[in-house]
């Protein structure tokens, strides 16, 4: 899952070497939180107009997690 998020984000940004992902342990509801970090000037590319790209990233991650019977959340920092 972490590799999927890195691959998606790296394709969107100008500086793929600045893309990092921190994974937090599942909370009481079993949700694994992925924190995506990108360069400051690439934030707009990852979020998109009115958050459309961020929403699409979260949708793809949830769909992939569903196939593995997991629950995930993506936070963009």
Chain CA centroid to CA 72, Å: 10
In this prediction the pTM is 0.90
- With a cut of 90, say whether residue 23 has pLDDT above it: yes
Fold of 2-76: GMP Synthetase; Chain A, domain 3 (3.30.300)
Q: Where are the domains of the chain?
A: 2-76
Per DSSP, helices labelled H in 1-77 are: 2-12, 43-47, 52-67
CB 34 within 8 A of CB 23: yes
30-52 pLDDT tens trace: 999 999 999 999 999 999 999 99
């Amino acid at each position: 899952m972490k590799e999927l998020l890195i691959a998606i984000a790296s394709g969107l940004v100008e500086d793929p070497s600045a893309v990092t992902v921190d994974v937090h342990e599942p909370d009481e509801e079993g949700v694994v939180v992925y924190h995506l970090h990108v360069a400051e000037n690439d934030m707009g590319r990852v979020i998109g107009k009115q958050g459309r790209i961020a929403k699409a990233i979260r949708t793809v991650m949830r769909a992939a997690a569903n196939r593995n019977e997991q629950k995930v959340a993506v936070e963009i920092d």
